[in-house]
Structure 1
Amino acid sequence: MKRSSSQRALHYGRTAALGCVVLLLLVAGALSSWDSAHHIVLAKGREHGTMTVTGCGSEVCTGPYVPSDGGSGRSRVSVDKSVAAKKGDRFPVVVKPGTFEVVRTGTPGFLHAWLPLGGALVLAALVIGGGLRLPRIAWGAGIAGAVLLVATFFAL
């Protein structure tokens, strides 16, 4: 049975709209991740060192910072509490330029920075599989997002 032109237009419009939703999810996840990840990925020339957690508030943990190159340290820097830091923990960090904020580096920090993209991949997989009816691509995106989420959980 042939489709009428209005049915084809509706099909293409629905596909385009769902494609835009998928694109929006992935771009939002990537941009949200890049806010922290670019300090880790493009760390050359940035201030590297170690932070020791001395206390945690509702949103951030604070503590002294000791640079790895032997320069002058800082008595207090802050890192997002969501990096699973407890009082007494020490971990490598990179300082955000012009601030007293640091971002955790190494594998745990790298994975944590890309966490929003992992969630976006899982959400996009539902739209790809259910709305666009592309099950193989949906499984690939969903598994990639889930692997990132699980790896971050175990790394932190």
Structure 2
Amino acid sequence: MPASASPARRASVSALRFGRVATTAVLAALILFAGVWGSWGTAQHVMLTKGRERGTVRVTGCAGDTCSGPFSPGSAGARAHARVELEKSVAVREGRTYDVVLKPGTGDAVRSGPAGILYAWLPLGGALLLAAVVVAGGMRLTRVAWVLGLAGAALLTAAFVAVR
């Protein structure tokens, strides 16, 4: 902006810049909140296992979006189930045995251990990558954007390696 610009013009440019940064910050925060919200539905069962039924499931069959098999208890208070369902993904294969935690009051199982924790937080990894683009483009904070992007990429890569 030239030195001869009027004070009113400088003020309006500053107000627009503040509005852009504030709007982008709110958008990035919403994206990150959505990533945490999307992850927490599964992550709470995997990370807060006290009082939950833990054990293993041997996948005997897959149909549609789920795989199922018998549940063998591995924690105190857990009981055997003839059939529990596990979400079908690239990380679940028929004939393999997985450490799982049962969701309370259901026959739904989620993977436990490091692989389960990382897999549960995948939505946050994607949100970190998206927020990095928003922060870089709207707020012009390239270092913060790099940190967000690298954290998201590291989370996605670690989850991919762990679930194999």
Q: Could you tell me the TM-score, scaled by structure 2's length?
A: 0.90
Name stretches of at least 5 consecutive residues in structure 2 with no aligned partner: none
- The CA distance in 2 between the partners of 1:129 and 1:7, in whole Å, is 20
1:79 aligns to 2:86 (yes or no): yes
Task: Name the structure 2 match of 1:39.
Answer: 45
- Report if aligned partners of 1:83, 1:112 keep a CA contact under 8 Å in 2: no
Which structure has the bigger radius of gyration?
Answer: 2
State the alpha-carbon separation in 1 of the partners of residues 126 and 108 from structure 2. Answer: 24
Contact 1:55 1:87 in 2 (8 A): yes
Task: Give the whole-Å Cα distance in 2 for the aligned partners of 1:7 and 1:131.
Answer: 15
Q: Distance in 1 between matches of 2:89 and 2:141?
A: 34
In the TM superposition, 1:1-156 aligns within 5 A as 1=3, 4-69=10-75, 71-82=78-89, 84-156=91-163
Identical aligned pairs, as a percentage? 49
Deviates more, 1:104-113 or 1:52-61: 52-61
Aligned to 2:26, the other structure's residue is in SS state helix
How large is the RMSD of aligned CA atoms in angstroms?
Answer: 1.4
Q: 1:2-58 CA deviation, whole Å, 9 max, x = no partner?
A: 652221111111111111110110000001001000011111111111011011122
Other structure's SS at 1:124 match: helix
Give me the TM-score of the superposition, normalised by structure 1.
0.95
Name the aligned partner's letter for residue 60 of structure 2.
T
**SS state of the match for residue 55, structure 2?**
strand
Per-residue CA distance 1:109-144 (angstroms, 9 max, x = gap): 010000000000001001111211001111001000
Structure 1 runs of 4+ with >6 Å offset = none
Local SS of the residue matching 2:110: strand
